Amino acid sequence: MDSPEARIHFLRKRLNELNYHYHTLDSPLVSDPVYDALLKELEALEQEHPEFKQGDSPSSRVGSSVKSEFVRLRHRRPMLSLNNAFSEEEVRKFETRIRERLPDLKDIEFFAEPKLDGLAINLRYESGLFVQGTTRGDGEFGEDVTANIRTISNIPFELKAAKVPAILEVRGEVIMEKAGFQALNAQNLLTGGKIFANPRNAAAGSLRQLDSRVAAARPLKFYAYGLGEVSQAFAETQEELLLNLEAWGFALTGLQKKVRGTEGCLGFFAHIQAIRNRLAYEIDGVVYKVNNFSLQEKLGFVAKAPRFAIAHKFPAEEVETLLEDVEFQVGRRGTITPVARLTPALVGGVTVSNASLHNFEEIQRKDIRIGDVVLIRRAGDVIPEVVKSVVEKRSSQARKIIQPSHCPSCGTELAQEKEEVALRCPQGKHCLAQRIEMLWHFASRPAMNIDGLGRKILELLVHAGEVKAPVDLYRLTRSNLLGLDRWGEKSADNLLRAIEESKSTTLPRLIYALGIPEVGQSTALVLAQHFGDLDLIRKATWEEFQKIPDIGPVVARHLLDYFQDPYLQNSLDQLLAQGLVWPRIEKNKSLPLSGKTVVLTGSLAGWTREALREKLESLGAKVSGSVSKKVDFLIVGEEAGSKLEKAQALGIPLWDKDRWEDFLQKAFLTYPGIFEPISNL
């Protein structure tokens, strides 16, 4: 059985992958219930073992990284997500937590709204004129999609009302209604265009096009629900806020309602669930917010979400269909995953035809057989979960799923490690399927970031014999590519340019790209910071790896095995000979704030308290809750409290927002390739 540290590491890695596919590629890999279960498990393990939690954990993040093609903009006020409730009990606990923080509150007034299933957007207005539109991105940074936003007909571009603040950021959801989604897919089916999984993916894919003419041709709508940065307050409640936004020309669902207590919330939920299928657009639940803004401020935030709001998600829709067959897929590490091929079924407005069965232990536990009628469910995503077989409808022709003895790709006999559920192909790079997965990992965005090298192109190159190892990507020529089916000069030149650009990388990216078992992005960063040089990493002993924080004996053994394998080291030498370069990092250089104690007071525009604390700790600082002579500096925001007076009396240096962010810029220059620059403030 995995140790807590290993399980946390696995969950972080898996959730980061799922976040990237959902938020950045608009191509979800699993259903919402599967994702939520993994996230809940991670949160529980991190709470039980806080020593293993990292600052970049998916439990503390929103969304995924921004697409490199768009300009990267920082939100003046972070775009946070909401915690979820899946039952009446969890909604009651939500109210209980509020009452614990506000014990004098006799009656809690909530404002309830449908939770639209689209793409969260921030619209910025200056002097009443629309100037910028940004996606949520990772919550701190988003993508500038202004040109595409301007094509959405129901977004007002000039607010003429007298009370409009000089600076106003309106937040809401860009959606595609069901009828428009069906018409778009029907048209794309005729023209050979992309068939979208669901309206949410269609809206996101439309808005994140580099050519705004694509967005203009698609039936997008915007519905408002909140605020970002605003220069002056103009409402005291969520209800008053939406009334103002509606008066200024913003569309609302018209279904929002003020309710009292948990019972009022649950009554609203039942009503919206009853009319859900009659709505023109997709929703995946409802949102409850404490109506009064002053109470919201007192409740504050925790990690990535506010304490004053929660999303009550609908239960996953379940549909029966036939399990026609099972295929076996081979992963990068040789793991064999059974995939169910289903008779296409309409689930929540989306036709689905396959689902992962995870592993054979799961198949046996659920007693799933080929030819069974199975119950599948989804909640907003196309890839469903097989809930169970409907045994009472089992045909006499149904047959058990036979565990394969040999790899479906290379034919090698499969192996199963002790205490492991998964079957694995031991052939590694000699297995064609594993080779493709390894190359896909190497070229991916978090690794060498070879833009435009999609999986289908990679498979074509491998099957054509042009690429067998990562180094072969850098040896490709124009003539190699033009010899492939349906390749033109422009496509060839674009790919070659992207491959050439990927040579300029960072040491953490390169280490991650090597695909060493258990070495994810965070471990690659730790290695780069500790050693500062790839040659030193290659010569390190098991004992030296073990001394590094966050690297345990299992990871140390994987590192040693990789860097002592003559074949792998020869391959790495060939790769480096292609001209890969990265900024130099000084060995064992202490972090910019190592040994420093910092205290926070007041609110810093554009930063939540949690994000500020995490950034300080990632730079080596200890964040204290009280002021003393041991404090090195105080970060001071708006409405600073008594800590400011005490710090002034002790002569402790004070840092305002400008000094803090100027420090971050300099830290980035000092640590090129490790810390993200702070730009577009």
Q: Kindly state whether residues 603 and 552 are assigned to the same domain.
A: no
Domain boundary among 37, 61, 85: 61
CATH number of the domain that residue 408 is part of = 2.40.50.140
Domain boundary among 286, 313, 340: 313
- Asked whether residue 292 is assigned to any structural domain, the reply reads yes
Mean pLDDT comparison of 189-203, 303-317, 452-466, highest-scoring range: 452-466
- Reference 8, options 56, 52, 64, 58; nearest CA is 52
pLDDT of residue 285: 92
Question: Residue 2: is its pLDDT beyond 70?
Answer: no
Per-residue pLDDT tens over the stretch 210-247:
777 777 788 899 999 999 999 999 999 999 999 999 99
Q: Specify the higher pLDDT residue, 312 or 583.
A: 312
CATH number of the domain that residue 627 is part of = 3.40.50.10190
Question: Residue 257: is its pLDDT beyond 90?
Answer: yes
Q: Kindly state whether residues 523 and 647 are assigned to the same domain.
A: no
Axis crossing angle, helix 566-576 with helix 553-563, rounded to the nearest 10: 70
Q: Specify the higher pLDDT residue, 176 or 207.
A: 176
- Asked whether residue 147 is assigned to any structural domain, the reply reads yes
Per-residue pLDDT tens over the stretch 420-472:
777 889 888 889 999 999 999 999 877 898 988 888 889 999 988 899 999 99
- Asked whether residue 567 is assigned to any structural domain, the reply reads yes
- Reference 101, options 236, 266, 290; nearest CA is 290
How far apart are the C-alpha atoms of 294 and 109, rounded to whole Å?
12
- In order of 109, 305, 680, the CA distances from 293 in angstroms are 11, 16, 28
- Reference 308, options 326, 322, 287; nearest CA is 287
pLDDT of residue 503: 92
Domain boundary among 422, 455, 486: 422
CATH number of the domain that residue 571 is part of = 1.10.150.20
pLDDT of residue 676: 42
Portion of the chain with pLDDT greater than 90, in percent: 35
pLDDT-based confidence at residue 644 (cuts at 50, 70, 90): confident
pLDDT of residue 291: 96
Q: Kindly state whether residues 404 and 284 are assigned to the same domain.
A: no
Q: Kindly state whether residues 609 and 656 are assigned to the same domain.
A: yes
How far apart are the C-alpha atoms of 571 and 538, rounded to whole Å?
13
pLDDT-based confidence at residue 662 (cuts at 50, 70, 90): confident
16 and 444 Cβ atoms separated by less than 8 Å: no
Q: Kindly state whether residues 291 and 184 are assigned to the same domain.
A: yes
pLDDT of residue 571: 92
- Asked whether residue 536 is assigned to any structural domain, the reply reads yes
The mean pLDDT of 542-554, rounded to a whole number, is 83
- Asked whether residue 337 is assigned to any structural domain, the reply reads yes
Mean pLDDT for the chain overall: 83
pLDDT-based confidence at residue 681 (cuts at 50, 70, 90): very low
Q: Which residues, including other chains, have CB under 8 Å from residue 243's CB and lie 6 or more apart?
A: 235
Question: Residue 675: is its pLDDT beyond 60?
Answer: no
The mean pLDDT of 133-141, rounded to a whole number, is 85
How far apart are the C-alpha atoms of 503 and 494, rounded to whole Å?
15
4 lies in which domain range?
1-61
Q: Kindly state whether residues 417 and 435 are assigned to the same domain.
A: no
pLDDT of residue 496: 93
Q: Kindly state whether residues 91 and 52 are assigned to the same domain.
A: no
- Asked whether residue 681 is assigned to any structural domain, the reply reads no
pLDDT of residue 91: 94
Backbone angles phi, psi at 645, to 5 degrees: -60, -40
Q: Specify the higher pLDDT residue, 27 or 198.
A: 198
pLDDT-based confidence at residue 678 (cuts at 50, 70, 90): very low
pLDDT of residue 665: 67
466: how many CB neighbours lie within 10 A of its CB?
17
337 and 356 Cβ atoms separated by less than 8 Å: yes
Residue 634, judged by CB atoms within 10 A of its CB (0-12, 13-18, 19+), counts as buried
Query: CA angle, corner 82, sides to 78 and 85, nearest 5?
Result: 170
How far apart are the C-alpha atoms of 312 and 90, rounded to whole Å?
9
pLDDT of residue 400: 92
Burial 356-390 (b: 16+ CB within 10 A, else e): bbbbbeebeebebbbbbbbbbbbbbbbbbbbbebe
How far apart are the C-alpha atoms of 18 and 128, rounded to whole Å?
38
How far apart are the C-alpha atoms of 425 and 409, rounded to whole Å?
9
How far apart are the C-alpha atoms of 605 and 625, rounded to whole Å?
20
- Asked whether residue 560 is assigned to any structural domain, the reply reads yes
Find the length of the chain: 681
The mean pLDDT of 385-405, rounded to a whole number, is 89
| Count of structural domains within the chain | 6
Q: Which residues, including other chains, have CB under 8 Å from residue 627's CB and lie 6 or more apart?
A: 599, 634, 643, 646, 647, 650, 652
How far apart are the C-alpha atoms of 507 and 589, rounded to whole Å?
15
Three-state helix/strand/coil letters over 132-189: EEEECCCCCEEEECHHHHCCCCCCCCECCCCCCCCEEEEEEEEEECHHHHHHHHHHHH
The two structure tokens encoding residue 36: 């939520």
The mean pLDDT of 2-29, rounded to a whole number, is 69
403 and 59 Cβ atoms separated by less than 8 Å: no
Q: Kindly state whether residues 300 and 212 are assigned to the same domain.
A: yes
Would you please indicate which residues are annotated as catalytic (active-site) residues?
115
CATH number of the domain that residue 246 is part of = 3.30.470.30
How far apart are the C-alpha atoms of 651 and 628, rounded to whole Å?
10
Q: Kindly state whether residues 418 and 442 are assigned to the same domain.
A: no
Q: Kindly state whether residues 555 and 657 are assigned to the same domain.
A: no
Q: Kindly state whether residues 100 and 205 are assigned to the same domain.
A: yes
Question: Residue 130: is its pLDDT beyond 60?
Answer: yes
Q: Specify the higher pLDDT residue, 182 or 316.
A: 182
- Asked whether residue 582 is assigned to any structural domain, the reply reads no
Question: Residue 679: is its pLDDT beyond 50?
Answer: no
In one-letter notation, the amino acid at residue 157 is F
pLDDT of residue 639: 67
Residue corresponding to tokens 């990871």: 555
Backbone angles phi, psi at 261, to 5 degrees: 65, 180
Query: CA angle, corner 511, sides to 507 and 514, nearest 5?
Result: 140
Q: Kindly state whether residues 109 and 231 are assigned to the same domain.
A: yes
Contacts 24+ apart (CB under 8 A), 535-544: 536/587, 537/511, 537/563, 538/563, 538/569, 538/572, 539/563
